[in-house]
Amino acid sequence: MVKSKIETYIGFLVRSRKITLGSGAISTLHGGVYLIILDGASAKNSQKLALKFKNRFSCPLVVCLLGFEKAVNKEGCKIAAVRDLNLANAILNNLDDNYRLYE
């Protein structure tokens, strides 16, 4: 299966350690978050937390419809915070059928 551009960008973020995985780790951040990514299959509480983080950091929220755990290579991960402005913009500019901007 061919990776999408967004999955490639997420791989760059993981390797450069510019992505924070999990709601507990995100809640410790004080700024510098440019994008929140949420797994579309997450529970209501995770969705509420994602909206809370979206408002707290004043950043966009992207929902992944399929395979988010595989993209970040961490089982059970439902939410992530992107801490690199350029890669956050690249993700937002290359949204596809699997990744949608939350409105």
Give per-residue pLDDT as tens, 40-95: 888 899 999 999 999 999 999 999 988 888 888 888 889 999 999 999 999 999 99
What is the pLDDT at residue 73? 85
pLDDT value, residue 30: 92
Distance from chain centroid for Cα 18: 11
User: Considering the entire predicted model, what is its pTM?
Assistant: 0.91
Work out the angle between the directed axes of helices 85-93 and 5-16 (0-180°, nearest 10): 170
The structural domain count of the chain equals 1
Range(s) of the domain holding residue 51: 5-101
35-39 and 79-82 beta bridge pairing: antiparallel
Which CATH number goes with the domain that contains 54? 3.30.1330.30
pLDDT at 1 over 70: no
